[in-house]
Amino acid sequence: MSLTLYFAPNSTASITAAVLAELAVPHAVVRLDIDAGDTRRPEFLALNPNGRVPVLVDAGVPIWESAAITLYLAELYGSVAGLYPAPGPRRGEAMTWIAWASTKLSPAGGLLAAALPTGTDGAVQAGSADWLPPDQRPDEARARAALARCLGVLEQGLAGKDYLLGAYSLADTHLFGFVGWIAGMAVPLPPGVAAWLERCAQRPALAAME
Ligand SMILES: N[C@@H](CCC(=O)N[C@@H](CS)C(=O)NCC(=O)O)C(=O)O
């Protein structure tokens, strides 16, 4: 098995980098520069026609969408590492959070990122397909309100627990990067989410991330 991660700094690819770091799975990294147009080059579009990172290539097969990659790696390596439940309802719970982060939390963060002035922490990079000129940007207040609702769901999910499933798991790893990015856009975190983020940041693998 030979794994290659197609990565860009300050992007969703950091989620996959975090999962690989937690699992200590050997892999090669190809660094792309979104502003330089690397995600729109034919050789990259041949791997992911959406022109997005992360892409994980395993034995020549490209796997894209961060949630799919996390679930793929979790299935292969997560249970052995004690970071992913065995098949059953607890695994379903982990999958729920991973899917939710990518279908609800990340798009809400993306709306705010698109609303913010270019160059602001967390804002869409100028070379990204998601970049919009100032007069076409979404309303920042609406984006912040949508995010607050999402963070309320996460706060509820963490109530009475240190981590999403009780013990730390790859569901936390997957959400960590998204919530860190959102916090970086000056979004106030509910207290339980803020404490959880701090706990996750103490994980050696996550603390060592770029
Ligand atoms: N739903 C995708 C989103 C990936 C995504 O939007 N990646 C952005 C960086 S955060 C990207 O590659 N953008 C390249 C571009 O805009 O050209 C996932 O979770 O993997």
Pick the residue whose CA is nearest to atom 12 on ligand 1: 52
Q: What is the pLDDT at residue 31?
A: 98
103-to-67, 97, 197, 203 alpha-carbon distances in Å: 9, 10, 20, 25
Give the pocket of ligand 1 (CB within 6 Å). Answer: 11-12, 34, 39, 51-54, 65-66, 102, 128-130
> Pocket of ligand 1, candidates 16, 31, 53, 181: which has the most ligand atoms within 8 Å of its Cβ, to mutate?
53
* ∠ CA 30-105-127, rounded to 5°: 45
Q: Is the pTM of this model over 0.85?
A: yes
Is 15 in contact with 206 (CB distance < 8 Å)? no
Per-residue pLDDT of the chain (210 residues; tens, 9 = 90+): 599 999 999 999 999 999 999 999 999 999 999 999 999 999 999 999 999 999 999 999 999 999 999 999 999 999 999 999 999 999 999 999 999 999 999 999 999 999 999 999 999 999 999 999 999 999 999 999 999 999 999 999 999 999 999 999 999 999 999 999 999 999 999 999 999 999 999 999 999 987
The string of pLDDT tens digits covering residues 108-146 is: 999 999 999 999 999 999 999 999 999 999 999 999 999
Interstrand relation of 61-64 and 55-58 (parallel, antiparallel or unpaired): antiparallel
Q: What is the pLDDT at residue 98?
A: 98
Question: Among candidates 172, 22, 178, 176, which has minimal Cα distance to 93?
Answer: 172
Q: What is the pLDDT at residue 1?
A: 58
User: What 3 state SS string does the chain have?
Assistant: CCEEEEECCCCCHHHHHHHHHHHCCCCEEEECCCCCCHHHCHHHHCCCCCCCCCEEEECCEEEECHHHHHHHHHHHHHCCCCCCCCCCHHHHHHHHHHHHHHHHHHHHHHHHHHHCCCCCCCCCCCCCCCCCCHHHCCCHHHHHHHHHHHHHHHHHHHCCCCECEEECCHHHHHHHHHHHHHHCCCCCCCHHHHHHHHHHHCCHHHHCCC
C-alpha 53 – ligand 1 centre gap (Å): 5
Q: What is the pLDDT at residue 32?
A: 98
